[in-house]
A and B are shown apart, each in its own frame.
Chain A
C-alpha cells in the first residue's frame, strides 16, 4: 500500500499512532494513580515514577530469582509494591497530612531518590531485559499494518484498568465513600467509617497502579533504576493539563497527549521530547486550572 498523508507513508503514521496509544496508556495509568492519591491524601506523589520502576524490577526479580512467570508477576508485583506503599504511608506520609502539602512532595522526592540509589547499587545503572511472555509473542497482520501482539495487549490492559478504576470510584458504594472522604473526612469518620484505613489503602492502590504499569512496561523497555524519574515529570505535566482533581480528565489527557507525542515523532522528531511541556505551557496561559480542573 502506498497511500501518503502529507508525504508521510500511512504505515508510519499508523505505527506512531500505536506507539502513541501505548505511551498514552502508560501516561493515563500513572496520572490516574496520581489523581487518586492526590484526591484523598492531598499529596503529590513524586515517588510515583519510582514505584513504576519498582514494579518493573519486581517483575524481573520474580522471574530471575524465583522463576515466577509474567502472569504471576502481573498480580504479585502490584501487590508487593502496593504493600510497600502502605508501609511507607504508615511510617511517613501519615504524619504529613496536617502540614503544607509541599512537604508530601518533598518527602516522596526523597523516597524516590533512595529507591533509585538502592537499586542502582544492587543491579547497576544499565538496564535489564525481560522477555515478552510466550502467549503474546509475534505480530498480527491486519492487512493495512502489522500489529505487535504484546503492544496491543498493553494498550488493552491499560484501558481496561483505567476503566475499572473509574467505575470503582464513580459508580460503586466504595467509590462514593472514597469521594465523600475526599470532600469531608471528619464527617465520613463520624459515620463510623475508618478513614485513616481508607487513606492507607488508597495510597497502596494508587502505588499498585503505578507498579502495574511497571509490569506492563518490563518486556517493552529496559528495566533500569532511572526509568521512572523522567517519566514522572511528563506525567506531572499531563496532570497539570488535565486538572488534578478529575479521574476521567487524567485518563483522557494521558491518552490524548500520548497520541500527540506519537505524531510529533513523525512530523518533527526533535520536538517529541518537549511537546507535552509546550502544550502544558499553552494550556496554562489559556486555562490555568486545566481542562477538567474545577478551581
Chain B
C-alpha cells in the first residue's frame, strides 16, 4: 500500500514538472496550486483535527492584501512580502483561534464565520486595501537579483516547489507526535485531556498553523494573478475551500489537492459560459457531497481499496 502510494506521488511529481511542456496554461496551473495549498492547509484542521472553520477566507484574503500592498506600494521583495503575508495571517489566526477554540463543533463553525466577516468589513473599509477596487498591478518580482518571475515558467516552478514543500510539511506534521495528539483530540477530546494533553493548546497551534499556510496560499495567489480583491476575503471563498477539501476527501493527503483541481477547473471552464449557474453547480456539489459521499473522492477510493484487501489498520491517514 505504502509503496503504491509513493509511486503515485512520484508520478504526480513528474507530471507537475512536465505539465507546462504539455501545453497546459501555466497561470491556470499556478492558480490551481494556490488553491491546492489553501485546501491542504484547511484540511489540517477539518481532516486531521476535526475542526470545521467556516472563515478561512480571512487568512487567505488578508495575507493576499498584505503581500499585494507591500509589493505594489512599498516596493518589498517577493520573498519578504510573502513572509510578511504569512506573518499577518499567523497573527490573525492567533487572535481568532484564541477566541474560537472556546467553543467546539457547530459553535466553532459559526464563530469563525462571524469573525471572518469582521475581517471582511475591515478589508472593505481599511485605507490600504483599495476598497471595492482591490489592489491591482502587483509586480511579480523575483528571487533576489538573479531569478525573475516575469517569465511564467520560472514562477510556475517556484509555486510548484512551494506546493511540494507544503505537502511534505503537512505529511510531517500529521505523522509527528503533535499530529497524533490532534487525532486523539478529534476522536475523543475528553479522553485526550484526561491523558494529560492540553487540548486547547494543540487546537490553537493547529489553527495558527493552518491560518499561516492559508496565508501563504493567499500571498502566492496575489503574486500569480497580480491582484488582491474583496472576493478573496468573502464568505464564498471560505465555503469553496470547505467544498474542495470535502469533495476530494477530508483527512486524506491528496484529496484536498484533487478537490481544488476540480473546483478551480469547473470555475475556469464554466464562469464565462453559464453565469450564475456556477453558484448553483457549486451548491449542488455541496449537497451531493453531504448526501452521497461524505468521505470525498479519494476517501471513497481508499475505503473501497481497503475493503477489497481487508486492510483495516484503523487509520485514515494515507
Chain B min CB distance to A177 (Å): 25
Are A102 and B111 CB-contacts (below 8 A) given A113-B286, A277-B118?
Answer: no
B281: chain A residues within 8 A (beta carbon):
117
Give Cα A117–Cα B236 distance, bound, in whole angstroms: 12
Closest to A44 in B: B106
Asked if A190 lies at the interface with its beta carbon under 8 angstroms from chain B, I say: no
Complex contact A110–B283 (CB within 8 A): yes
Asked if B155 lies at the interface with its beta carbon under 8 angstroms from chain A, I say: no
Complex contact A121–B114 (CB within 8 A): no
The main secondary structure of chain A at its interface with chain B is helix
Closest to A112 in B: B283
Complex contact A116–B279 (CB within 8 A): yes
Residues of chain A at interface, number, CB under 8 A: 45
Are A236 and B110 CB-contacts (below 8 A) given A106-B246, A278-B118?
Answer: yes
Closest to A101 in B: B106
Asked if B198 lies at the interface with its beta carbon under 8 angstroms from chain A, I say: no
Complex contact B109–A105 (CB within 8 A): yes
Closest to A243 in B: B107
Q: Name which of A91-99, A195-203, A213-221, A247-255 contacts chain B.
A: A91-99
Complex contact A109–B121 (CB within 8 A): no
A113: chain B residues within 8 A (beta carbon):
239, 279-280, 282-283, 286
Give Cα A224–Cα B289 distance, bound, in whole angstroms: 28
Complex contact A117–B277 (CB within 8 A): yes
Chain A min CB distance to B288 (Å): 8
Complex contact B103–A288 (CB within 8 A): yes
A117: chain B residues within 8 A (beta carbon):
276-283
B289: chain A residues within 8 A (beta carbon):
106, 110
Chain B min CB distance to A182 (Å): 15
Asked if A281 lies at the interface with its beta carbon under 8 angstroms from chain B, I say: yes
Are A284 and B102 CB-contacts (below 8 A) given A103-B290, A106-B246, A233-B113?
Answer: yes
Asked if B115 lies at the interface with its beta carbon under 8 angstroms from chain A, I say: yes
Chain A min CB distance to B267 (Å): 13
Asked if A222 lies at the interface with its beta carbon under 8 angstroms from chain B, I say: no
B311: chain A residues within 8 A (beta carbon):
none
Complex contact B99–A240 (CB within 8 A): no
Closest to B122 in A: A274
Asked if A173 lies at the interface with its beta carbon under 8 angstroms from chain B, I say: no
Are A284 and B121 CB-contacts (below 8 A) given A102-B106, A117-B276, A121-B277?
Answer: no
Most chain A CB atoms below 10 A, which of B110, B111, B115: B110
Chain A min CB distance to B57 (Å): 12
Complex contact A106–B242 (CB within 8 A): yes
Asked if A30 lies at the interface with its beta carbon under 8 angstroms from chain B, I say: no
Closest to B290 in A: A107
Asked if A229 lies at the interface with its beta carbon under 8 angstroms from chain B, I say: yes
Complex contact A103–B279 (CB within 8 A): no
Asked if A3 lies at the interface with its beta carbon under 8 angstroms from chain B, I say: no
Give Cα A239–Cα B106 distance, bound, in whole angstroms: 12
Give Cα A189–Cα B121 distance, bound, in whole angstroms: 47
Asked if B294 lies at the interface with its beta carbon under 8 angstroms from chain A, I say: yes
Complex contact B102–A288 (CB within 8 A): yes
Chain B min CB distance to A131 (Å): 27
A109: chain B residues within 8 A (beta carbon):
239, 286
Are A111 and B283 CB-contacts (below 8 A) given A44-B110, A103-B290, A230-B117?
Answer: yes
Asked if B314 lies at the interface with its beta carbon under 8 angstroms from chain A, I say: no
Chain A min CB distance to B297 (Å): 16
A233: chain B residues within 8 A (beta carbon):
113-114, 117, 235
Asked if B287 lies at the interface with its beta carbon under 8 angstroms from chain A, I say: yes
Give Cα A98–Cα B147 distance, bound, in whole angstroms: 55
A96: chain B residues within 8 A (beta carbon):
290
Complex contact B280–A121 (CB within 8 A): yes
Complex contact B99–A107 (CB within 8 A): no
**Looking at the complex, which one of A105, A115, A240, A270 makes contact with B114 (CB distance below 8 Å)?**
A240
Complex contact A273–B294 (CB within 8 A): no
Extra 10 A-B pairs, beta carbons < 8 Å, given A110-B285, A233-B114, A237-B114: A102-B52, A102-B109, A106-B52, A110-B286, A120-B276, A240-B103, A240-B114, A280-B114, A284-B102, A288-B102
List the interface of chain B (C-beta within 8 A of A).
52, 54, 99-100, 102-103, 105-107, 109-111, 113-115, 117-118, 121-122, 124-125, 235, 239, 242, 246, 275-287, 289-291, 294
CB-defined A-B contacts under 8 Å, sample of 28? A92-B287, A99-B294, A105-B52, A106-B242, A106-B246, A106-B289, A106-B290, A111-B287, A112-B283, A115-B283, A117-B276, A117-B278, A117-B279, A121-B275, A121-B277, A125-B276, A230-B117, A230-B235, A237-B117, A240-B114, A273-B121, A274-B121, A274-B122, A277-B121, A280-B114, A280-B115, A284-B111, A288-B102
Ranked nearest first, the 4 interchain pairs of A and B with the lowest CB-CB distance are A110-B286, A113-B283, A117-B279, A114-B283
